Amino acid sequence: MTLSMQPAVSGWEPGLSRFNTHCSYCALQCALKMKVDTAQNRVIKVWGRRDFPTNRGLSCVKGQTAHQQINHADRLTQPLLREGKEGPFHEVSWDEALDFTAQQLQEVQKTHGADSAAVFGGGALTNEAVYLLGKFARVALKTRNIDYNGRYCMSSAAAAQNTSFGVDRGLNFPLSDILESRCILLVGANVAECLPPIQVFLKRAQKHGARLIVADPRHSKTSEIADLKLMPRPGTDSALALALLAEVVAQGGVDQDYLNLRVTGFDPVLAFARGFDAKWGEKITGVPDLLISQAANWLIRFKPSLILTGRGAEQHSKGVDTVQAFINLALALGQVGKLGGGFGTLTGQGNGQGGREHGQKADQLPGYRLIENQKDRETVAKAWGIEEKDLPRKGLSAQEILQAADTGAIKAMWVVGSNPAVSAPNGNRMKNALSNLSFLAVSDFFFSETCQAAQVVFPATLFAEEDGTMTNIEGRCVLRRAGVKPPGQARADWKVIVGLAQRLGAGKYFDFPNTEAIFNELARVTAGSRADYSGMNYSKLERNKGLFWPCPDANHAGTQRLFEYAFFHPDGKAKMRLVENKESAEMPDETYPYRLTTGRVLEHYLSGNQTRRIAPLMAAISEPFVEVSEKLSQRLGLNPGRKVTLETRRGKVSLAWKASAHQEESTLFVPFHWGGEKSVNLLTQEALDPVSRMPEFKVCAANLTQDGAKEI
Ligand SMILES: Nc1nc2c(c(=O)[nH]1)N[C@H]1C(S)=C(S)[C@@H](COP(=O)(O)OP(=O)(O)OC[C@H]3O[C@@H](n4cnc5c(=O)[nH]c(N)nc54)[C@H](O)[C@@H]3O)O[C@H]1N2
Ligand SMILES: Nc1nc2c(c(=O)[nH]1)N[C@H]1C(S)=C(S)[C@@H](COP(=O)(O)OP(=O)(O)OC[C@H]3O[C@@H](n4cnc5c(=O)[nH]c(N)nc54)[C@H](O)[C@@H]3O)O[C@H]1N2
Ligand code: SF4
Ligand SMILES: [Mo]
């Protein structure tokens, strides 16, 4: 069973306490209640909270077992340090680890310049940690090079939404608005496994008569409930969007009144679309033209119609253009800003949304302010009490930071809440990049593959061990309360940031007694920005089951729906931008005839450093596999008992395989939650989107051969 609904909790028992929290994993941030055996400091039961509107009592198998991380035997409980980068790690005191790290960072910067030190953050960190990490990089470390793993995640969608809407909030409406939709097109999103409670919302919408269209080259668990399945070849979604728009135009589905009132730039986009049709779409995508016409027809007829994209559409070297093409479609249909209709992107990480709002992205300052905008620089510098000229400028993106480590331009790095040794593309090169650094520090609560390349490891606290806020898939900021004590010497990320800032001589800018004080500063600094949190505080968040931004003053109830009346551009209108269809960076050829794509399974989370340690999750799936279409497996005569070798221009991996009855024939799919020899990122490529700098995780040319005598 993937989802469970637990009974409401009542009563009080001696020796036990309860606390409200949110799940440690994905962007839904399901509200959970945990029961604690206080003497043992152990969570003994977990419930999904029925009173919370995003999950309504639901939680998935990861949330139900998230507490098993808390007392896990593998937890890091003491800072680790080693001589050089090869020797054994020793447990050391916090002072020793922090002193050593500060000294290493300073030495590298003295010799190679301020920007030779980099910070690599993550979308699982709280808003408080993210805000402080961005401030730390610019004010204490004085480097321009800070970026985070969200670059691998939401960056293409964020860039396209900014262009069209003037702002980027994954969903610009509360999740429950899905229940109002009459037609939903999901592109490259497997919500049944990745955001399971949304599957329940989709089913409920279908019960009310909504049609669900799923575009995915695989027969995913999500497409099982689809009313219409489109199976584009990986990397062809922009062509699908263009063909759909051409059909909407041809079928008279353009809402001209809406465009005249609310949109600019539509004439050239519609004129361009007239040069295409469903037949052309079929040629590029492999989706039968009749299905493309039918999908367009449903989007026109069954309104409100809603288009949602996931990483399948976005993690491409043309991800921004692809998302843009779907936004153009949603605007042409006249749906964005209407209840139950429009466009949205399904954010992935627990704080993927807040993670990019508050300053750990190379080009942004808190509140989505831009680091290259003079007025934004002045506002933030003033709020921080520094000179504008001392604020570093835009730095490198995540993948470019790793590339710079490989070439030697970056010499020292602090990774906080990411495991790029597993999750970055072109893994062999990334391993070199990490070991090439003269100094690497990693903050994590479990020893990760990235820790293996570190000289210092800081033991972090888990979600249930420290207060902090997260901003979920809807743009709702929620407060997570601590309910258990951290093990050993484990310390919250924000405290480590403060400790290092003090040692770098910037302590006065980092004088915070607790996370609430950090949040209050964050709220003040974002006043007047696009992601305005200035009307939020901890008690208000708790009373209101979270608050949607912008929330610009103490009496403001937060903004659930962003585009009801206006978009965020100065003229209040949305913009269409003409995008042409492009090929993927690597197309299949004779040597590499298939399209390798990658993604997720329900039971594991991202690089797997957390979920590969949880027994029930490992019992469900312990190994990666390659999913092959039944037709292809028959054509190649694959033997069910034997492994296969998957090869691309960057490497080879030997894997178990399974056949999928319905799957686009050229598609090979591998989940990426494993490191070492089984890591599919040994095969993926570094082609980056020119705007978002997103790597092309979702398609590269590959070959597949049967292994010799190796039994599974
Ligand atoms: N169980 C679980 N849940 C998670 C996560 C996890 O690791 N595990 N991670 C979280 C995070 S950070 C994220 S970003 C989200 C991601 O959530 P999703 O975007 O839903 O996840 P993926 O599995 O990466 O990709 C979704 C689908 O895209 C399809 N796909 C692949 N290539 C293409 C293509 O070229 N075009 C189209 N149309 N589809 C394609 C895949 O077959 C897959 O079914 O999930 C979040 N939730
Ligand atoms: N091939 C392929 N690769 C991909 C993707 C794909 O679809 N295909 N998807 C990409 C996407 S969408 C994403 S989001 C990235 C994610 O990739 P990663 O950044 O590697 O994600 P995680 O595995 O969550 O890594 C987080 C690490 O930090 C730790 N951690 C979690 N929370 C905290 C915290 O609060 N503090 C500290 N200090 N540590 C913490 C965890 O234990 C874990 O080791 O992967 C990307 N890589
Ligand atoms: S992993 Fe996501 S869907 Fe599952 S319980 Fe946690 S927040 Fe909810
Ligand atoms: Mo992600």
Planar angle of CA 354, 358, 361, nearest 5 degrees? 100
User: What is the pLDDT at residue 286?
Assistant: 98
Indicate if ligand 1 lies below 6 Å from the C-beta of 456: no
pLDDT tens profile 561-581: 999 999 999 999 999 999 999
Question: Looking at residues 283-305, what average pLDDT do you find?
Answer: 98
Ligand lying nearest the CA atom of residue 346: 1
Indicate if ligand 3 lies below 6 Å from the C-beta of 350: no
Q: What is the mean pLDDT of the chain?
A: 96
Indicate if ligand 3 lies below 6 Å from the C-beta of 430: no
Alpha-carbon distance of 302 to 280, in angstroms, equals 25
Atom of ligand 1 nearest to the CA of 233: 35
Residue nearest atom 36 of ligand 2, based on CA coordinates: 417
pLDDT tens profile 524-547: 999 999 999 999 999 999 999 999
Residue 496 clears pLDDT 70, i.e. is over it: yes
Residue 706 clears pLDDT 90, i.e. is over it: yes
The band of 710, judged by pLDDT with boundaries at 50, 70 and 90, is: very low
Ligand lying nearest the CA atom of residue 72: 2
Ligand lying nearest the CA atom of residue 614: 2
Question: Looking at residues 310-321, what average pLDDT do you find?
Answer: 98
pLDDT tens profile 475-494: 999 999 999 999 999 999 99
Indicate if ligand 1 lies below 6 Å from the C-beta of 670: no
Residue that is written with structure tokens 């970056």 in the block: 410
Indicate if ligand 1 lies below 6 Å from the C-beta of 422: no
- Give, for ligand 2, the residue of 119, 216, 445 to mutate: max count of ligand atoms closer than 8 Å to Cβ: 445
Q: Are strands 642-648 and 651-660 parallel, antiparallel or unpaired?
A: antiparallel
- Give, for ligand 3, the residue of 24, 28, 52, 55 to mutate: max count of ligand atoms closer than 8 Å to Cβ: 28
Indicate if ligand 3 lies below 6 Å from the C-beta of 29: yes
- Give, for ligand 3, the residue of 195, 200, 471 to mutate: max count of ligand atoms closer than 8 Å to Cβ: 195
Cβ–Cβ < 8 Å for 694, 151? yes
Indicate if ligand 1 lies below 6 Å from the C-beta of 189: yes
Planar angle of CA 662, 667, 672, nearest 5 degrees? 105
Residues 6 or more apart whose Cβ sits within 8 Å of residue 489: 77, 78, 79, 94, 459
**Tokens in use for 24?**
């440690």
Indicate if ligand 2 lies below 6 Å from the C-beta of 598: yes
Q: What's the CA-to-centroid distance between 156 and ligand 4, angstroms?
A: 12
Q: What's the CA-to-centroid distance between 606 and ligand 2, angstroms?
A: 5
Q: At what angle do helices 319-332 and 155-165 cross, to 10 degrees?
A: 40
Residue 4 clears pLDDT 80, i.e. is over it: no
Residues 6 or more apart whose Cβ sits within 8 Å of residue 433: 402, 403, 405, 406
Ligand lying nearest the CA atom of residue 199: 3
User: What is the pLDDT at residue 537?
Assistant: 98
Q: What's the CA-to-centroid distance between 336 and ligand 4, angstroms?
A: 24
Indicate if ligand 3 lies below 6 Å from the C-beta of 23: yes
User: What is the pLDDT at residue 679?
Assistant: 98
Atom of ligand 2 nearest to the CA of 684: 1
User: What is the pLDDT at residue 711?
Assistant: 44
Residue nearest atom 30 of ligand 2, based on CA coordinates: 417
Report the candidate in 640, 704, 635, 637 with the shortest Cα–Cα distance to residue 668: 704
pLDDT tens profile 185-243: 999 999 999 999 999 999 999 999 999 999 999 999 999 999 999 999 999 999 999 99
Residue nearest atom 28 of ligand 2, based on CA coordinates: 417
Indicate if ligand 2 lies below 6 Å from the C-beta of 26: no
Indicate if ligand 3 lies below 6 Å from the C-beta of 59: yes
Residue nearest atom 31 of ligand 1, based on CA coordinates: 312
- Find residue 252's DSSP bridge partners: none
Residue 3 clears pLDDT 80, i.e. is over it: no
Domain boundaries, the chain: 80-152+352-467+481-530, 155-345
The band of 641, judged by pLDDT with boundaries at 50, 70 and 90, is: confident
Cβ–Cβ < 8 Å for 445, 462? yes
Q: What's the CA-to-centroid distance between 199 and ligand 3, angstroms?
A: 12
Q: What's the CA-to-centroid distance between 397 and ligand 1, angstroms?
A: 22
- Give, for ligand 2, the residue of 131, 419, 447, 458 to mutate: max count of ligand atoms closer than 8 Å to Cβ: 419
Q: What's the CA-to-centroid distance between 672 and ligand 2, angstroms?
A: 11
Residue that is written with structure tokens 């980027």 in the block: 168
Residue 712 clears pLDDT 80, i.e. is over it: no
Indicate if ligand 3 lies below 6 Å from the C-beta of 21: no
Atom of ligand 2 nearest to the CA of 599: 7
Indicate if ligand 3 lies below 6 Å from the C-beta of 26: yes
> Hey, what amino acid is at 199?
Q
- Give, for ligand 3, the residue of 6, 26, 191 to mutate: max count of ligand atoms closer than 8 Å to Cβ: 26
The band of 8, judged by pLDDT with boundaries at 50, 70 and 90, is: very low
Percent of the chain topping pLDDT 90: 96
Q: What's the CA-to-centroid distance between 583 and ligand 1, angstroms?
A: 21
User: What is the pLDDT at residue 640?
Assistant: 87
Q: Are strands 476-480 and 547-548 parallel, antiparallel or unpaired?
A: antiparallel
Assign residue 49 a region (left: φ > 0; alpha: ψ between -120 and 50; beta: otherwise). beta
pLDDT tens profile 410-453: 999 999 999 999 999 999 999 999 999 999 999 999 999 999 99
- Find residue 440's DSSP bridge partners: 413
Alpha-carbon distance of 20 to 36, in angstroms, equals 11
Residue nearest atom 23 of ligand 1, based on CA coordinates: 599
Indicate if ligand 2 lies below 6 Å from the C-beta of 315: yes
Indicate if ligand 2 lies below 6 Å from the C-beta of 448: yes
DSSP state of 349: B
Q: What's the CA-to-centroid distance between 193 and ligand 1, angstroms?
A: 8
**Tokens in use for 60?**
């998935």
pTM, full prediction: 0.97
Has domain 80-152+352-467+481-530 been given CATH number 3.40.50.740?
yes
Residues 6 or more apart whose Cβ sits within 8 Å of residue 150: 122, 123, 349, 352, 355, 356, 361
**CATH number for region 155-345:** 3.40.228.10
Question: Looking at residues 340-355, what average pLDDT do you find?
Answer: 97
Question: Looking at residues 175-187, what average pLDDT do you find?
Answer: 97
Residue 677 clears pLDDT 50, i.e. is over it: yes
Indicate if ligand 1 lies below 6 Å from the C-beta of 684: no
Q: What's the CA-to-centroid distance between 31 and ligand 2, angstroms?
A: 21
Indicate if ligand 2 lies below 6 Å from the C-beta of 444: yes
